[in-house]
Amino acid sequence: MIDVHSHIVFEVDDGSKSIEQSLQILHEARKVGFDIVIVTPHYIEGYYEYNKNQIAERINKLQSMQDEVKILQGNEIYITENINELLEEEEASTLADSKYVLFELPLNAEPLNLMSVVYSILEKGRIPVLAHPERYPHVQKDPNTLIELIESGVIMQSNYGSILGQYGKECKKTVQKMLKHNMVHLLGSDVHRPRTVYYNMPEILKTLEKLIGRNKLEYLTTINPSKIINNENIEVETPEYIKKGLFAH
């Protein structure tokens, strides 16, 4: 399996606090079946601003200290009108040096500039990947808002932990509906600490397989992530509208 979203790089964001922690998390990753991990430290303007070279130095150090897992570079970029400039100036990174750009939204409000940022990424020949849509309140309220984004060319990356309720009941319900209605294209751990999500992977995979089947699970865990690494297009199934009764409170 390939993990496309992780906070394993030490001392750069709210993820790993030390080299020792990073190595422990990587060991856990290998133990549950990940052989490649894309590290995606937060890039938030004015807050977390370690540039591409600074992250690469830490990755090289981690890679030299273990060979269980291959580490590739990326970022989880907080939504900004400057997203293309950050990439072009090598302040932030695409996923595994591909055309795929992992970005996140605020967790408390729907950004008014979402579509303009999406189109600006697409205009540059890049592909926007939205991190953990199931965690955003406006998506929990109406997951069908994702259909316009998917049809525009946005890839959806959900978190493994969401399926077990790591981020609450609403998040769990939302990701289940998204999975059943072709609204998830990638899965990632979003791991920040040792002894957390990787520890739960056997149960997570079992739950996911029961929900969507082994074949689809392989696409979300391995086939689609490998397309990112190879800079190929991910084939997206047509998202299905979720009937209102399924998420009415």
Can you tell me the mean pLDDT for 109-125?
Answer: 96
Rounded to the nearest integer, the mean pLDDT of the chain is: 97
> What ranges do the domains of the chain cover?
2-246
33-62 as b/e: b if 16+ CB within 10 A: ebebbbbbbbbbeeebebebeebeebbeeb
Determine the Cα–Cα distance for residues 27 and 122; give it in Å rounded to an integer: 36
Q: pTM higher than 0.95, yes or no?
A: yes
- Report the distance separating Cα 52 and Cα 64, nearest Å: 18
Q: Which residue has the tokens 């697409």?
A: 122
Q: Half-sphere exposure (CA, 13 Å, Cβ side) for 184?
A: 30
Q: 């496309």: which residue's tokens?
A: 4
pLDDT tens, 174-211?
A: 999 999 999 999 999 999 999 999 999 999 999 999 99
Is the pLDDT reported for residue 241 higher than 80? Answer: yes
> 200, 143 in Cβ contact below 8 A?
no
For 13-63, how does the pLDDT look when each residue is reduced to its tens digit (9 = 90+)? Answer: 999 999 999 999 999 999 999 999 999 999 999 999 999 999 999 999 999
pLDDT recorded at residue 208? 98
Tokens 């060979």, residue located: 67
**Which amino acid makes up residue 146?**
L
**DSSP 3-state of 187:** strand
Q: Is the dihedral of CA 186, 15, 40, 225 positive or negative?
A: negative
As given in the structure block, the two tokens for residue 46 are 């004015």
Torsions phi, psi of 229, nearest 5?
Answer: -60, -35
104 forms beta bridges with 78
Q: Which residues pair with 129 in a beta bridge?
A: 102, 155
pLDDT band at 249 (very low <50, low <70, confident <90, very high): very low
Two tokens, residue 233: 């297009």
* Residue 76: strand, helix, or coil: strand
Burial (CB count within 10 angstroms: exposed 0-12, middle 13-18, buried 19+), residue 137: middle
Indicate if the alpha-carbon torsion angle 40, 42, 44, 46 is positive or negative: negative
The C-alpha atoms of residue 230 and residue 232 are separated, in whole angstroms, by 5
Task: Provide mean pLDDT across the span 163-175.
Answer: 97
Three-class SS of 203-232: HHHHHHHHHHCHHHHHHHHHHHHHHHHCCC
For 82-95, what is each residue's pLDDT tens digit? Answer: 999 999 999 999 99
Q: Would you identify the CATH topology of the domain 2-246? A: TIM Barrel (3.20.20)
From CA 188, how far away is CA 4, in angstroms rounded? Answer: 5
